[in-house]
Chain A
Amino acid sequence: MSTLAIDKAGPSRKVKYGSMSRDRTWALRWSYFFLVLFAIFFLTPPVYMLITSLKSSAEISAATNPWWVFHPTLSNYVELLTSNQFLRFFWNSSVVAIAVVIITMLISIPAAFALARMKFWGSATLATGVFLTYLIPDSLLFIPLFKMLAVFQDYTGITLLNRWYVLLFIYPTLTVPFCTWIMIGYFASIPKELDEAALIDGASWLQTLTRIFIPVALPGLIAATIFAFTVSWAQFLYPLVFTTSVDQFVLPVGITTTLIKGDVFNWGQIMTGALLGAAPPLVIYAFLMDYYIAGLTAGATKG
C-alpha cells in the first residue's frame, strides 16, 4: 500500500519538475532568440561599415548585393592611411583627446578630493553645482562660446578660433564635471581610517591624495579617464563650430566635411574613415570593458 502511494507520488512530482525545467528551457530559447534579433539590429551599422570599407568604388556603384563583398580590397585603407590630410585629422584628434584627458585629471582629481574629504564652506553646494554643470548640454553653449572667443580675439589679439588647441579649453567643460562627480563617489567610499592613519603618520594633504587616494581609487580613475577620452574623441558640435580650416579639423568633422565633396559621396572611403575613427574607442572598450561600464553606471549609482 505504502509503496504504491510513493509510486504515485514519485512520477507526478517528477512530471511537475520536468515541466518547470521545460519552461525554463523555453524561456532561455526565447531569450536567445530575441537577443540575436537585437544584436542584429545593434550591430548592422558597424558591420555594414566594415563591408563597405572593403569594396572598391566600382563594386559600390554596381548594384550588386550590398551585404556581400565580392572582390575584397584594402585600397580604401591604403588610400586613407597614406593621405596626409586624413593622418592630420587623426593626429589632431589624438593630441586633443590625450591633452584633454590630462587637463581633466589635473582639474578633477584635486577638486574631487577636496569635495569628498575636506568639508569647507560651500562644499556641498559646489558638489551639487558640479553635477548640474554636467547636465548642461553642448548645444546650449556653442553660440555664446563662439562669440566669446571672437570678442576675446578682438581684445587681446590672441587667435583661438579656427585653431585646434581652442578645443583644449572647451572640451574640459564636458569632461570635468562628470569626472569630478564620479571621483567624489569613489573617494567618498574610501574608509576614513585610511587617511586618518596617513595623517597620524605625518602625511600632508597632498601626500594623502597621491599616496593613498589615487592608488586606492585607481579603478575609478581609469573609468574617468576612459570617459574623458571617449567624450573628447567623439565630440562633433564644438569642432564643427570653432574650426573651419581643413588642417585644424579633428576626425569627426574632417570625415563628414572633406570626404563628402559636393554631391559626390565616396562611400568606400567615408566608411573606412568612420571605421578608423571609431576604432580607438572600440579598442579601449574591448580591453577595458569593465571599467568602461563602471564609469557609465557610476554617474547614477554613486554619490
Chain B
Amino acid sequence: MADVVVERGRVARAAGARKGTSLRNALGRKSTVAFFLTLPLILLIILLVLYPAFYSVYLATLNKAMTKFVGFGNFTFLFKRETFWMVVQQSCIFAITAVIFKALIGFIVAHFVHNIPAKGQRKWRGMLLVPWVIPPAMSTLAWLWLFDPSYSAFNYTLSFFGVGPIPWLGDTFWARFSVILVNVWYGAPFFMIMYLAALKSVPDQLYEAAAIDGANWWQRIWYVTLPMMRNIIAITTLFSLIVTFANFDIVRILTSGGPLDTTHLFATWAFQVGIQSNDIPLGACVSLFMVPILAVAAIFILRDVSKRGNEA
C-alpha cells in the first residue's frame, strides 16, 4: 500500500514539474491508473470470495460450538454417516444425468431450430428460451404445483391413459426423477442457445464439401458439426456440470431433500446442517466436498477458454 502512495506522489510531482509528457511518466501514470481502476474488483474478490473460501476451510476444523479445534474431526464424522454417502451418490447421479440430458435435448432442439427457415428461427428460439429466463425459484413452484400429491395436473392427464397416480415427490425413485426433470427443463434451453450459436458459426462450404463426398446426415453431424462445435460443447457441458452440481433452488423447493434425505445435494444438505440445524462447521465441511469436482471442471474450462482465445 505504502509503495503505491509513494509512487503516486512521485508521478504527481513529475507531472506538475514537466506537464507529464515523457514516456516513463506516462507509463508510471498508466500503471497507477490501472491499479485504481481494478482496486474495487480486487478488493471484492479478496474480501468476499477468496477470504470466505479459506475461512470455510478453517470453520470446517472447529467443533459445533466453534470453540475448539478438532482438525479432521468433522470429516471423519461425515465419513461414518450413511446420509453423507447418500448425498455424494445422489449429487453425482443428479449432476451427471441432468447434464447429459440437457446436452442431448439442447443439441437436438438446436438442430431443429437451425433446420427451419431463418425467418421463423427468432420466434422459436425466443419461445424455447423462456425456462432459462424465469427465476428458478419461481418456476420450481409451478413444478411443485404440477407435482402436487392430490391435485397433480400430470396425474389428472395420465389418468386418461390408465396410468398413475404417480407419487412424484413422495417416492425415492420418482422424487429423484422429478428433481432431474425440473433441472433438465430449466437448463436445456441454455445448451440450445449455445449450440445454436455454434451451429451458425460452422461454414456452409464444409457441408457442401461433405455432401459432394456423399456423406449422409449422420456423417455430416459426426464428421463436420461435432468437430467444429467441440470447444463450445466442452465449455458448456463443464460449466453446466459446475452449476448443476452446486444446485440449490430446485431441490430445496421441490423436496427439501426428502423423502428420507434421498434427494439431498451437497448444497441443500449443507444448508440443512449448517443453517437450519446451526452446526456451521459441519455445514462448511459438507459444502467443501464440492471443491474437488468443481476444481477439475474449472481447470478444463480454463484450458478450453484460453485455447479458444489463442485460436482467435
Contact = CB atoms under 8 A, between A and B. Distances in A.
A and B held together in a complex:
yes
B57 to A, nearest CB: 9
A143 B53 CA distance: 10
Contacts of B146: 44-45, 48
B105 interface: yes
B298 A140 contact: no
B145 A173 contact: no
B143 A45 contact: yes
A270 B274 contact: no
B52 A141 contact: yes
B56 A141 contact: yes
A102 interface: no
A17 interface: no
Contact of A236 (B52, B116, B136, B197): B136
A300 B194 contact: yes
Contacts of B125: 293
A143 B284 contact: yes
Interface stretch (A4-12, A35-43, A79-87): A35-43
A42 B135 contact: no
B40 interface: yes
A140 B232 contact: no
Contacts of B288: 140
Contact of A300 (B126, B239, B270): B239
Nearest to A139: B267
Interface stretch (A70-78, A190-198, A217-225, A276-284): A276-284
Interface stretch (B31-39, B75-83, B164-172, B202-210): B31-39
Contacts of B56: 140-141, 143-144
B191 to A, nearest CB: 11
Contacts of B249: 236-237
Nearest to B45: A133
Contacts of A281: 133-135
A256 B137 contact: yes
A281 B166 CA distance: 33
Contact of B194 (A44, A180, A271, A296): A296
A241 B275 contact: yes
A138 interface: yes
A94 to B, nearest CB: 14
Interface residues of B, number: 97
A63 interface: yes
B51 to A, nearest CB: 8
Given A114-B37, A303-B309, A142 B145 contact: no
A302 B138 CA distance: 31
Interface string A99-112: 00000001110110
Contact of A43 (B108, B130, B242): B130
Contact of B30 (A42, A118, A137): A118
A146 B151 contact: no
Nearest to B184: A41
Contacts of B197: 293, 297, 301
Contacts of A131: 302, 305
A118 B40 contact: no
B309 to A, nearest CB: 6
B204 to A, nearest CB: 15
Given A45-B131, A140-B288, A297-B193, 8 more contacts: A133-B45, A137-B245, A138-B248, A140-B246, A142-B287, A146-B280, A252-B137, A281-B135
Interface of B: 30-31, 33-35, 37-38, 40-42, 44-45, 48-49, 51-53, 55-56, 59, 105, 108-109, 112-113, 115-117, 122, 124-139, 141-143, 145-146, 148, 151, 153, 156-157, 185, 188-190, 193-194, 197, 232, 235-236, 239, 242-243, 245-249, 252-253, 266-267, 270-271, 274-275, 280, 283-284, 287-288, 290-291, 294, 297-298, 301-302, 305-306, 308-309
